[in-house]
Amino acid sequence: MELLPVARKHPFDPPAALRQMAADGPLHPLAFPDGHVGWVVTRMSTARAVLSDARFSARQELRHMPYPHPLGQESPAPAIPGWFLRMDPPLHTHYRRLLTGQFTVRRINRLIPRVEQITGDHLDAMERAGSPADLVQDFALPIPSLVICELLGVPYREREEFQHTTSMALRLDADKQDVIAALTDLHDFFVRLVATKRDEPGDDLLSGLIAGGELTDEELQAIGMLLLMAGHETTANMLALGSWTLLRHPEQLAALRADPGLIDDAVEELLRYLSIIQFGAQRAALEDVWLDGTLIQAGQTVVISIPAANRDGTKFTDPDTLDFARDAAGHLAFGHGVHQCLGQQLARIEMRVAYSALFRRFPGLRLAVPDEEIPLRTDMAIYGVHRLPVAF
């Protein structure tokens, strides 16, 4: 039995072995690094069925990871109060309702000028430093990190420390001890931040949650960490990988330049085409379930392959072509069902602003090294590139 394939022949396409599985049928037996045996779903309709079926659980204690974890944690890992990504209703609903009350259209819209400002500042800095630049370090990583600072109300004086600590904590290629130390620092950071917000409330999301009076400090710290973990690397990798994709599809980039109003469609199509959550969403069957004629036994983990489902030819015509003119709605990049991405509107805003500003500022943007020299994140939970050297 196979592990979930990771090796890629082409940087923008799902692994060839995964495509073969998808061609063979909607469900495939899957081996997990911890010895567990489960399934991978490669078809869109089956993926949606699992993600909207309460017989499949997202609970942390039931989770088996389809990839080796950098910290070598035993899976399943224990549950953490407030970490609602790995909870089921009704507990999940309790936290999700509190969060949705804070992710208001007003708050997100108010962030737009800040996203524009943060992006502009980083492009200014790139221009000042001169060509070449690394689009990952100089653009893709710092922008979402600072946007999360805005959202959570991280004081200006602490943003540099926050950025430094998060970049280390999220580095899956770093030394294990360094990552553990950075995660500890990050936890301490959120302990201090929650205490500060209790003393000096602001107009930010954490202060809003505190004012609601329903969450303990421990829960607030976990929610802060979850928003950071879920919202930073994801958006950062879309920014870097998406920029490379645009450079490699000059006709699509030209269409976008000719009609900047195409950016909303471009972002949706890039989300579909790139599907950076490469190991998908995972759920555990709470009871025996028949799925497309296959019996999933109670306790087995089902990996919903977002990259495979988003290239499903029964859902999207000519799925392997990047086409900003298509209707990419219904893609699975933000998941589906009760756990569908809470930050998706914010992520869309960041991508729209950042891609538009980057290609407007540097009309001659190009890769500074041959494609083969760009290190791919095939070994990371979130796919993308480690570095993207560009000239302008």
Binding site for ligand HEM (CB under 6 A): 58, 84-85, 96, 148, 226-227, 230-231, 234-235, 238, 276-277, 281, 333-335, 339, 341-343, 346-347
Q: Which is nearer to ligand HEM, 212 or 250 (CB)?
A: 212
Shortest spacing between CB 351 and ligand HEM, in angstroms:
7
Helices (H), 329-389: 344-361
Token pair recorded at residue 28: 């495939």
| Beta carbon nearer to ligand HEM, 5 or 242 | 242
Q: How far is the CB of 373 from ligand HEM (least distance, A)?
A: 25
Distances (CA, A) of 377 to 6, 40, 54, 172, 276: 10, 21, 32, 10, 10
- Of 93 and 184, CB closest to ligand HEM: 93
Nearest approach in angstroms of CB 329 to ligand HEM is 15
Q: How far apart are CA 229 and CA 232, in angstroms?
A: 6
Q: Taking the complex as a whole, how short is the minimal distance between the CB of residue 352 and ligand HEM, in angstroms?
A: 11
Query: CA-based angle 95:96:102, to the nearest 5?
Result: 100
Q: Quick one: 286 or 368, whose CB is closer to ligand HEM?
A: 286
Q: Which DSSP letter does residue 3 get?
A: B
Residue 244 parent element (H or E) = helix 217-248
For residue 102, what are the β-bridge partners? none
CB of 140 to ligand HEM, least distance (A): 11
Rounded Cα–Cα distance for residues 76 and 78 (Å): 7
- State whether the Cα torsion 89-309-243-134 is positive or negative: positive
Return the number of the residue (230 or 376) whose C-beta is nearest ligand HEM: 230
* Cα separations in angstroms, 189 against 159, 161, 193, 235: 11, 9, 6, 22
* Nearest residue to 56 (alpha-carbon basis) of 338, 304, 284: 284
- The nearer residue to ligand HEM, 20 or 353, going by C-beta atoms, is 353
Could you give the C-alpha distances from 149 to 25, 190, 231, 298, in angstroms and in order? 43, 12, 11, 41
Q: Tally the C-alpha atoms within 13 A of residue 96's C-alpha that lie toward its C-beta.
A: 17
The nearer residue to ligand HEM, 130 or 316, going by C-beta atoms, is 316
CB of 334 to ligand HEM, least distance (A): 5
DSSP state letter for 205: H
CB nearer ligand HEM, residue 39 or residue 334: 334
3-state secondary structure of 295: strand
Quote the least distance from Cβ 216 to ligand HEM, whole Å: 18
Residue 31 or 341 having the CB closest to ligand HEM: 341
Q: Which residue is nearest to ligand HEM (CB)?
A: 343
**Minimum CB distance to ligand HEM smaller for 76 or for 335:** 335
If 0-12 CB within 10 Å is exposed, 13-18 middle and 19+ buried, where does residue 112 land? middle
Shortest distance, position 273 Cβ to ligand HEM, whole Å: 12
Check: CB of residue 11 under 8 Å from CB of residue 371: yes
- Token pair for residue 79? 């549950």
CB of 130 to ligand HEM, least distance (A): 29
Note whether 7 and 294 are within 8 A (CB).
no
